[in-house]
Amino acid sequence: MSFSSKPSRKGNIIQKLLAAVCVMVVLVAGIAYILRTKDDYILKTNRMLSEQSRVAVSFISLSDFRDMFSQDENISNRARARLESELYYFSNSMDGVGYAYVAEIVGDNHTVMADSISDNSFEVIGRPDGLGTADAAIIDNMQMPQSLIEGPFISAMSGSDAVIRVTTPIVDNSESSHYLVYEYDSEAYYSEINQHVFHAIVIVASVLILVLCLIWFIFKNIELAERNQKIKAREKLFRAIFRRAPVGVALMYENRIVAGVNPAFESILNRTEAELKEVAWEDLTFVDDYEAENELIEKFRSRELDDYEIEKRFVRPDGDAVWCIVRIIRFELKGREDISHLCMIQNIDQRKKAEKAFKESERSKSVLLSHLPGMAYRCANDIEWTMNFVSDGCRELTGFQASELIDNQSVAFNDLIAVEYQDSIRKEWERILQIRAPFHAEYEIVTKQGARKWVLEMGQGVYDESGKVIALEGIIIDMTARKKQEERIRYLNDHDFLTGLYNRQFFEKEKMRMDKLKYMPITFMLCDINGLRLINDAFGQNIGDAIIIETARFLEQYCSENDVIARTGGNEFSMLLPNTSAEDAYSLCTKIQSNIEMRNQTVGEMAIDMSVSIGYSTKVSHASSFSDVVREATEYMYKRKLLNRKSSHSAIVSSIMTTLYERSQETENHAIRLAEISKAIARRFDLNQSNLDDLELFAMLHDIGKVGIDDRILNKPGKLDDEEWTIMKKHPEIGYRIAMSTPDLERIAEYILSHHERWDGHGYPRGLKGEEIPLPARILAVADTYDAMTEDRVYRKGMSREIAIEEILRNRGTQFDPDVADLFVEALQEYEQSQRETS
């Protein structure tokens, strides 16, 4: 069905051609009519002039005319006078006639015989110059038997006046030719002709205008008919659109629907037109949306807005709300004061639900992507891997914002891939896309900051219906930590975590690998740190670990590139020296021990001496067993350890005491005083020299356990809090462990453990009571307390001798052994006497 009423282009052209032909026909006919009218009136005027000239000739007396040629001059003059009088009368009695004369033409000569000018005449037209001769045209005219009209002639006498010359032959039967010639005013001549021509032009113009008007009316009629047809077609189209449009349309006034409700409007709101007219606009609007629209309504009413658009909800009769786009347009019709605007609504309920679902989907997607441990992507399958979408994890992974990667704004993803992986990644993608399999690859990228990261990429191709790859999608996860962990695991699997050297597992593999002829002779060397247990007990495991690490670094420097060194025990290091003879191994051992001694001599007093026992054995042939070589080296090492044990432990104990004196308020003089006072007391108990020597050693080392106490607690100027005091009370146990790990100190270990016990059982760490406490510990308790009370401290002044003795005696039987306390006074006097004698 066509709604077009537009005439064809061909029909328009034909109509215009016909109109043009009609106008041309009328125009040509009009011009012909005008020309014909002109010719007719020229002919009519000419006839009139001819008739007039014949009448004029008839007035001329032939007798007078002939008398002019008389030999008698008087007769001739009278005849000429009468003729001139007649000519004068003719020129003055006839309208438009000017100058008249009679001419004689003989051969080529012509002569004016008489004219209308006379001395007695009335006012006449002046004689033109040049009379007396005639031009060829006059001669030719005079030879014609009838009147002839010669065309316009400009007389020299009359200036710019144009005249018509009328020439008429006079028949007198003479041999010569005579003519009556008079001049007729051209204005008078053309006046009537022009008047009739003008009338003809007016008639033709009127007819032409009439024809043009007729044509215009015809075309206007056609145009109106076409417009009417278009209007009807448009009206038909509008009605069809109005009724079938998916957009609801209604005409409104103020806040009510008044007319023009189409079916879509009724369907969207689920109300009939009659029902809609009865309901106010605010009652149709969902309550939560009315306030937002009300502002627009007020602006529309005040003409601040000519139209507005809003998304809102309408309420249906069943209470359901439907989302619509509402467009309000000012629409005023002449003669319809009850209509002020047009309302159009479009149901977008499904779109709103889709948007809500999409937002929820995007929210879920965003939450999912934000919690993904990497970067989700969609990219083109091109040389740059041009990104179309990148999740927010991009920044954490690469250092770049997502916008910098999309469409290669700042950098292409291909440029982030480490150069050595770019070709292999591309080839793997090409292979995967051909077989339509998932992509899985690990490679390194270079971040914006220049750091290298290991990533795991998992992706797949996106194909169109023809099987063409249109995109790649996947996720890239940072696995640098995992890679490092794997490297760490591999490292720890083969290395000792403390020293960084190889471990026993790797060493055993290397031992099997090197058990080949090409490595012979191969030397197995075993190194063991002396006194490590004592160091751990005295200084703590951190110091022990430091000794292990230092020893590892020390031994490592004597290994070549092909040698293998490993930590194969807590304080044990093993070395495989391929192509090394027994002599070379001996030289190496000597060199190591020599350099250890040099190290111990050059370090400060606070440093702990390094002591290592070394054993080695060399396998010279493939036939011998490696286990025998290891056994021989171990036996040799233990022999060396036994030889070095005493001196190494003494050196370590010396280091411990030096460290203690440096770290705490304890001094060597304090230890010497305790030893002398304690021996003075002990001699009163009749102890032998061996016991006195042990007591002296005990007095010197009783606080050796303090080396394991934090400096902050040891040197605190004020009173210790409960937590600090608990830590401080551990030093007897630490000292006990140190003594037990040293062969020369094992016999005084029990004394060290008990030197803070009390006679009443309230001491520490074991709460021993009375004689359960070893005698040397009871003796030292009194001497140590006295020296501590009388010694000046940073935080207090020392007591006097008398007050200190009084305090000790006051605590006999509670803190101190009563017998020891009683003997202490005598022993103190003995000590003081000996000090005076030596000074």
pLDDT digits (tens, 9 = 90+) for 8-34: 566 678 878 888 888 888 888 888 888
With b for 16 or more beta-carbon neighbours within 10 A and e for fewer, the 637-669 pattern comes to: beebbeebbeebbbbbbebbbbbbbebbebeee
Q: Which residue has the higher pLDDT, 377 or 132?
A: 377
Give alpha helix (H) positions in 60-129: 62-67, 73-93
Token representation of residue 64: 């007078």
Question: For position 22, what pLDDT does the model report?
Answer: 84
For range 42-48, the mean pLDDT: 81
- For 572, phi then psi, to 5°, come to -120, 135
Distance CA 605, CA 174 (A): 185
Mean pLDDT of 610-627: 89
State the DSSP code for 665: S
Q: How buried is residue 607: exposed, middle or buried, by Cβ count under 10 Å (0-12/13-18/19+)?
A: middle
Is pTM beyond 0.85 here? no
Asked whether the predicted pLDDT for residue 59 surpasses 80, the reply is no
Condensed to tens digits (0 to 9), the pLDDT of residues 224-238 reads: 888 888 888 887 877
How many CB atoms are located within 10 Å of the residue 45 CB?
Answer: 20
Give the integer Cα–Cα distance in Å for 655 and 652.
5
Residue range 608-629: average pLDDT? 89
User: CATH homologous superfamily for 372-484?
Assistant: PAS domain (3.30.450.20)
Model confidence over 515-530: pLDDT tens digits? 999 999 999 999 999 8
Could you report the per-residue pLDDT of 719-730, keeping only the tens digit for each?
Answer: 888 899 999 999
Could you tell me which of 288, 222, 297 has the C-alpha nearest to residue 12?
A: 222
**For residues 421 and 189, what is the distance between their CA atoms, to the nearest angstrom?**
116
Say what the pLDDT of residue 140 is.
39
pLDDT at 437 > cutoff 80: yes
Domain 30-194 grouped into CATH 3.40.190.10: no
CA distance 174 to 641: 193
Look at residue 446 and tell me whether its pLDDT is greater than 90. yes
Query: Which pLDDT value is given to residue 371?
Result: 64
pLDDT in tens, 259-280: 778 898 888 889 888 888 888 8
Q: 491: helix, coil or strand?
A: helix
pLDDT of residue 190: 78
Lowest mean pLDDT among 119-128, 288-297, 449-458: 119-128
- Comparing 10 with 733, the larger pLDDT belongs to 733
Give the mean pLDDT of 306-317.
90
Which residues are CB-contacts of 371 (< 8 A; sequence separation ≥ 6)?
Answer: none
pLDDT of 23 reads: 83
Q: In what order do the strands lie in the sheet with 177-185?
A: 109-115, 97-106, 177-185, 162-170, 148-154
CATH topology of domain 664-838: Hypothetical protein af1432 (1.10.3210)
Whether 412 shows a pLDDT value over 80: the answer reads yes
Q: Which residues, in sequence order, are bridge partners of residue 149?
A: 166
Residue 157, pLDDT above cutoff 50: no
| Residue 763: per-residue pLDDT | 93
Q: 495-642 sits in which CATH class? A: alpha beta
Question: Is residue 513 within 8 Å of residue 502, measured between CB atoms?
Answer: no
* pLDDT > 80? residue 761: yes
Between 656 and 386, residue with greater pLDDT: 386
Closest CA to 193 of 50, 41, 52, 35: 41
pLDDT exceeds 60 at position 152: no
The model's pLDDT over 777-800, given as tens digits with 9 standing for 90+, comes to 999 999 999 988 888 665 667 788
Residue 159 has pLDDT above 50, yes or no: no
How, if at all, do strands 452-463 and 439-446 pair? Answer: antiparallel
Mean pLDDT of the chain: 82
Question: Is the pLDDT assigned to residue 123 strictly greater than 60?
Answer: no
Number of residues assigned to the chain: 839
Instruction: State the Cα–Cα distance between residues 313 and 569, nearest whole angstrom.
Output: 81
Report which of residues 706 and 370 the model is more confident about.
Answer: 706
What is the pLDDT confidence band of residue 127, given thresholds at 50, 70 and 90?
Answer: very low
Give domain 245-354's CATH architecture.
2-Layer Sandwich (3.30)
- Is 215:18 a contact under the CB 8 Å cutoff? no
**For residue 362, what are the contacts with CB-CB under 8 A and spacing of at least 6?**
none
**Residues in contact with 635: Cβ distance below 8 Å, sequence separation at least 6, in sequence order:** 615
Q: At residue 105, does pLDDT exceed 70?
A: no
Average pLDDT over residues 153-158: 34
More confident residue, 362 or 666: 362
Residue 32's nearest CA partner among 171, 153, 190, 207 is 207
What percentage of the chain exceeds 90 in pLDDT? Answer: 31
- Where in the chain is CATH 3.30.450.20? 30-194, 245-354, 372-484
Backbone φ, ψ for residue 114 (5° rounding)? -155, 150
**Cβ neighbours for 367, distance < 8 A, ≥ 6 positions apart:** none
What DSSP string runs through 728-783? HTTHHHHHHHHHHTSGGGGGGHHHHHHTT--TTS--SSS---GGGS-HHHHHHHHH
Alpha-carbon distance 618 to 626, whole Å? 9
Question: Which pair of tokens denotes residue 792?
Answer: 């000046």
Confidence label for 138 from pLDDT (cuts 50, 70 and 90): very low
Q: How many CB atoms lie within 10 A of CB 227?
A: 11
Query: Which of 201-210, 342-351, 668-677 is predicted least confidently?
Result: 668-677
pLDDT for 491-508, tens place per residue? Answer: 888 999 899 999 999 999
CA distance 351 to 323: 9
The residues of the chain that CATH labels 3.30.70.270 are 495-642
